[in-house]
Amino acid sequence: MRISPTKFISLLFLVLSVFYLYTAYNIQVFAFDENAPFNARTFPIYLGWAGIILSSLKIILPEKITTEVNHKHLDYKSIIYLIIISLIYAAVILKIGYFISTSLFLFASYYFLGERRWGLMFVLSFPFVAAFMYLLHGLLNIYLRDPFLKYIGVMG
C-alpha cells in the first residue's frame, strides 16, 4: 500500500501529538492546583487532543486535492550544502567570532551556489560584513558580541 506524502506528514503529526499529549499529562503542577479548573496542563491537553483529532481526520479522509512534487526538479545537492554550511556556521560563531564566521559563511555559500567571480564574492563577504557591523555597532548602537575582534582590540 502506497501512502501519500501528505498522509505521511499527517502520520508524523499524529505521533507528535500523542507524544505531546503524553508529556502534557506528565507536567508537574502544584498540589493545590491539581483539581483547579485550569492549571499548567489544561491548555496543552486540549492541544494534544486537537492535534490527534485533526491528523487522524487527515489520514482517514480521502484526499480531494493531492499535492504532487516532482523530486527530479528539486535541487537536493545545493540545499544539503547550504544546510551543512549553516550548521558549521552556527557551531563556530561563538568560538571564532561573528565577523570571521559570517564572512566565511557568505563566501562559502556563494561558492557552493555556483558563483565563481572571486572579487565580487570577496567584496560581498568580508567588507560587506564589516560595513554591516559598523552600521549596527557604530551607528545604531546595537551591541554585537564578537570575542575575537574584542581580543585583538578592534571592538570594545
Partner 1 sequence: MIEGILIGLSTALSLTNILMVMVGCFAGTIIGMLPGLGPMTAIALMIPITYGFDPSTGLILMAGVYYGAVFGGSTSSILLNAPGIPGTVATAFDGYPMAQQGKAGKALAIAAYSSFAGGTISAVFLLVAAPSLSKVSLAFRSPDYFALMILGLTAISAFSSKGQFLKAMMMVVLGLMLATVGQDSLSDITRFTFNNMNLTDGISFVLIVMATFAMSEALTIIFRGKDPNRAAKQISLTELGSIKVNKEETIKMAKTIPRSSILGFLIGVLPGAGATIASFLAYGMERNYVNEEEKQKFGKGSVHGLSAPETANNAACSGSFVPLLTLGIPGSGTTAVMLGALLGFGIQPGPRLYQTNPEIFWSVIMSMYIGMVVLLILNLPLIPYIARILAVPRNYLIPLILFFSVTGIYLMSFNNFDIFLMIGIAVIATFLRLYDFPMPPLILAFVLGGLMEETLRRSLLISDGSPNFLWDRPITLIILLITITIVGWQIFSTFRKKN
By CB atoms closer than 10 A (0-12, 13-18, 19+), residue 81 is: middle
| Binding interface with partner 1 (CB under 8 A) | 5-6, 9-10, 13, 16-17, 20, 23-24, 27-30, 33, 37-40, 42-44, 47, 50-51, 54-55, 57-58, 61-62, 64-65, 67, 69-70, 72-76, 78-79, 82-83, 86-87, 89-91, 93-94, 98, 102, 105-106, 109-110, 113-115, 124, 129, 132, 136, 140-142, 144-145
φ/ψ (deg, to 5) at 46: -60, -45
Buried b (16+ CB within 10 A) or exposed e, 98-117: bbbbbbbbbbbbbeeeeeee
Neighbours of 90 (CB within 10 A): 11
